[in-house]
Amino acid sequence: MNKDIIERLKTGTVLGAEGYLFELERRGYVKAGAYVPEVVLDYPDALKELHREFLRSGSDVLVAFTYYAHRDKLKLIDREKDLEKLNRQAVRIAKEIAAEGEDVLVAGNICNTWLYDPDDKERSSALVRQTYDEQVRWATEEGADFILAETIEYVGEALIALEVIKSYGLPAIINFGATYAISKDGYDWIDGCRQLEAAGADAVGFNCIRGPETLLPLLARLRKAVTCPIAAVPVPYCTTPDAPAFQNLQYKGKNAFPLELEAFTCTRFEVADFARKAQKLGVNYIGLCCGASPYHIRAVAEALGRTVPASKYSPDLSQHALLGSDTVVKGHEKKFAAVIKN
């Protein structure tokens, strides 16, 4: 298969697993709060294992874990000196594990900076550009196949991300995080995507924040509005029209975000259903973001018609002692009776 992401998007569906931040937090390697991917330097084997699990679950892309690995966030945890090392090592690790699969792509990853300010556009744009420039340069030098810019809430910031990625000659997928009804600088999301397409983005879309139910309507509108490939990487949480973003979900009278979201986790069947619907709509890049575990990704891959390495252990309830077919259950009871008798 081709290692050119643009060709892959044009000729089939690309599956991109994410959710590193939440999964590694659950496993005890990322601190909730700052959410900085220190695991890249501190426990590289833990990160390698998760990459491997996503790869076995059918991901076509391993996303280098540099989400929130930008200067400002590293300063916050007093590790600014580790910035370059962390960014470079993250891409190297993703490449190392990608090589265990066949034609697995490696994405460099940049995200919302929290620095962009439309009321102080010139000064803040320069800071954002600097932040993206060093991360994209390191990812390019380490051999990333393309750059995924994510969870951006300002059209202005997204356009800077695109411009920086293009200055390094790499393909760019730019995803908005649709926390609000419109972008934080006042654009309809679909209009923002149109602007990105016009500025040369190779694919545009959405990641994180919204679950399948509240992302699908946006995707239907987006598909009609742009001709370039589109991307959809929702969170596997059951968001609703009343709580369209996972930050709005309420559990037992208080915010579930970010530590009690489990209560809203989509089942494997729900994410599979999302994948089928997204593919039918014409979404070209399908993935899952924060909250996803490898079994969700396998369910998405299988919903897209694939058999992946982890499919070897996909459920077969006919072999279950209580839920299996009559024959199996009867056989089990016979065996069980024999054991009791002896």
What's the closest the beta carbon of residue 53 comes to Zn ion, in angstroms? Answer: 17
What's the closest the beta carbon of residue 31 comes to Zn ion, in angstroms? Answer: 16
Nearer CB in complex with Zn ion: 230/261: 261
Using rule CB under 5 A, residue 50 touches Zn ion: no
What's the closest the beta carbon of residue 215 comes to Zn ion, in angstroms? Answer: 12
Distances (CA, A) of 75 to 69, 122, 161, 340: 10, 23, 21, 65
Distance CA(131)–CA(36), nearest Å, equals 15
Burial of 336 (0-12, 13-18, 19+ CB in 10 A): exposed
Distance CA(67)–CA(37), nearest Å, equals 7
The three-state secondary structure class of 33 is coil
Backbone angles phi, psi at 67, to 5 degrees: -60, 130
What's the closest the beta carbon of residue 333 comes to Zn ion, in angstroms? Answer: 46
Nearer CB in complex with Zn ion: 63/303: 63
For 73-103, b where at least 16 C-beta lie within 10 A, e where not — what string? bbeeeebeebbbebbbbbbbbbbebbeebee
Nearer CB in complex with Zn ion: 144/289: 289
Nearer CB in complex with Zn ion: 208/308: 208
**CA-based Rg of the chain, rounded to a whole angstrom?**
21
Give the per-residue contact string, 260-289, with Zn ion (x = CB under 5 A; - = no).
-----------------------------x
By CB under 5 A, what part of segment 100-139 binds Zn ion?
none
Nearer CB in complex with Zn ion: 171/211: 211
The three-state secondary structure class of 265 is strand
Distance CA(286)–CA(281), nearest Å, equals 11
Using rule CB under 5 A, residue 245 touches Zn ion: no
Nearer CB in complex with Zn ion: 15/289: 289
Nearer CB in complex with Zn ion: 47/290: 290
Give the total of residues touching Zn ion (CB under 5 A): 3
Using rule CB under 5 A, residue 290 touches Zn ion: yes
What's the closest the beta carbon of residue 207 comes to Zn ion, in angstroms? Answer: 6
Nearest to 14 by CA among 218, 213, 232, 171: 232
The three-state secondary structure class of 72 is helix
User: Is the omega angle on the peptide bond into residue 258 within 30 degrees of 0, that is, cis?
Assistant: yes
What is the DSSP code (8-state) at residue 13? P
Token pair of 326 as six digits: 């009559």
By CB under 5 A, what part of segment 180-209 binds Zn ion?
208
The three-state secondary structure class of 24 is helix
Nearer CB in complex with Zn ion: 190/208: 208
What's the closest the beta carbon of residue 322 comes to Zn ion, in angstroms? Answer: 37
What's the closest the beta carbon of residue 100 comes to Zn ion, in angstroms? Answer: 25
Is-contact 72 117, C-beta < 8 A? no
Give the per-residue contact string, 203-242, with Zn ion (x = CB under 5 A; - = no).
-----x----------------------------------
What's the closest the beta carbon of residue 341 comes to Zn ion, in angstroms? Answer: 55
Nearer CB in complex with Zn ion: 62/208: 208
- Which positions touch Zn ion (CB under 5 A)? 208, 289-290
